[in-house]
Structure 1
Amino acid sequence: MDKKQIHNELQFKAVRSSGAGGQHVNKVSSKVEVSFNIALSQGLSNIEKQRILLKLQSRLSNDGVLLLQCDEARSQHRNKDLVVKRLFDVLTKAFEIPKKRKKTKPTKSSVEKRLKLKKMSAERKATRKKPNWD
């Protein structure tokens, strides 16, 4: 993953934000939306592209474009920095390979405890039966 190349491929769009700011928020476009076309990216290898398409399937548009937005700060520049950081966090998280779970055997005491409880339950239910007088 070439971060500089990806940063050059990002498309930014400034939009009017909601929230705190009073009259200022109505006049200034401080919310930043970033779009990143994964299929056309030169900064990612084919394997990385496939992994992103698989992992981030729910966050992609129909065209395979990753859209993120940020309106946390009142400044457009700060929001731009935050959304770029968030984008790279999302991408690096998509590349992480989860560790495989190691199978473990139940401990001897847990097996004994389970069997003991099972036996107690069986005895309890056996007392509910009608007695057989034969």
Structure 2
Amino acid sequence: MDDEPVDPHSASRIPVLGKIHIRKEDISEEFIRASGPGGQNVNKVSTAVQLRFNLAGNDTLPEDVKSRAARIAGSRLTQHGEIVLQADRFRTRERNREDALERLLDLLRRAMEKPKPRKATKPTLGSKKRRLDAKKQRGQIKKMRGRGASYDD
């Protein structure tokens, strides 16, 4: 039963990754007029979709995933905690709906990846020596620029 493809618009739960899912109630869609080419149709039909996902009100995602998703969303996150995505690449509503939903799921999947912890390292003895030698050489160059510097130092 889990192997069957799930239509995201008919199910009440939309799978994100593994056992984690989002509720369809946390998503709202509004159709707006698309910009750009499209001939006469572009001025008559609202084919672009503006998808809103209530990240702050969602209780199916873990808190660490929500905070990473907020950081990834950046300017697409509103002050009310909603992620707003606009899709108008295609000429049909259905394709734009699928595109917006897939972009939201991609954002949430990226947020589920835990960042690798940074391992603190110490500079090697050789790198310290090279750095100090470069500083001495640079200092010598600057010393030669000074007024009244002699060449026999």
Higher helix fraction (1 or 2): 1
Give the TM-score normalised by structure 1.
0.75
Contact 2:28/2:53, CA 8 A, preserved across alignment: yes
User: Is residue 2:136 matched to residue 1:119?
Assistant: yes
Contact 1:60/1:66, CA 8 A, preserved across alignment: yes
Q: Please, which moves more after superposition, 16-25 or 46-55?
A: 46-55
Q: What residue number does 1:14 align with?
A: 31
Q: What residue number does 1:59 align with?
A: 76
Note the 1:17-96 alignment, pairs <5 A. Answer: 17-45=34-62, 48-49=65-66, 52-53=69-70, 56=73, 58-96=75-113
Structure 2 distance, partners of 1:34, 1:72, is 14
Gapped regions of structure 2 (runs ≥ 5): 1-12, 16-20
Number of positions where the alignment pairs a residue of Structure 1 with one of Structure 2: 130
2:14 to 3, 14, 29: 3
Give the TM-score normalised by structure 2.
0.67
Q: Which amino acid aligns with 1:114?
A: R
- Percent identity, please: 38
Higher strand fraction (1 or 2): 2
Gapped regions of structure 1 (runs ≥ 5): none
Partner-residue secondary structure (3-state), 2:22: helix
Q: CA RMSD in A?
A: 2.8
Tell me: higher relative CO, structure 1 or 2? Use CA pairs within 8 A at least 6 residues apart. Answer: 1
Q: Which amino acid aligns with 2:126?
A: S
